[in-house]
Amino acid sequence: MRTYDFSPLFRYSVGFDRIERMLGTASERADQTPGYPPYNIETVDQDAYRITMAVAGFREQDLDIQIKENALSVAGNITDGEGGGKFLHRGIAARSFTRAFDLADHVKVAGANLDNGLLTIDLVRELPEALQPRRIAINKGPAETLVGKARKILGQDDKQAA
């Protein structure tokens, strides 16, 4: 497999550490087992997403979901079951896995559910108040400068200031 060195792109850049890290981890993940376990990523609402993973044979205690620095990690490690019987044919994959997903800023994990061999992880984007769009009121009359507003607040009129 071909690997790429992205360091020349960031040689003269400051503050793009997250993008550099994402490109680096993307090339590292290409070496991982690409298809196991299979998963879907879907948009549920404008600010809601769902990751669905096919994890047949895994129980809740066999799965570990963690989030660290905008990276969601799902790991599975099957412990031997109680049946203890010998398999004549084993068609259901029972191998360990680790799957990682990069999350955008302000995306939070809302919850996870395991049902009928499908692990669903619900994600929600919660923008802070400072980043949400806000409407600016339009006032009627002559425009007032910032200095004029400050003088009004301090109780000075324009004649005293001149």
22 and 52, same domain (yes or no): no
70 and 7, same domain (yes or no): no
Which tokens sit at 67?
């989030």
Q: Name the residue type at position 141.
A: G
67 and 11, same domain (yes or no): no
Instruction: Residue 10: give the domain boundaries.
Output: 1-31
For 43, residues 6+ apart whose C-beta sits below 8 A from its C-beta are 49
Convert the pLDDT of each residue in 4-56 to its tens digit. Answer: 676 676 666 566 666 767 676 665 555 555 678 999 999 999 889 999 999 98
Q: Are 59 and 29 in contact (CB under 8 A)?
A: no
Look at residue 128 in the predicted model and tell me its pLDDT.
Answer: 82
19 and 93, same domain (yes or no): no
d(CA 162, CA 159): 5
Of 74 and 20, the structure prediction assigns the larger pLDDT to 74
What's the order of all strands across the beta sheet hosting 97-102?
Answer: 63-68, 71-76, 97-102
Q: Name the residue type at position 15.
A: G
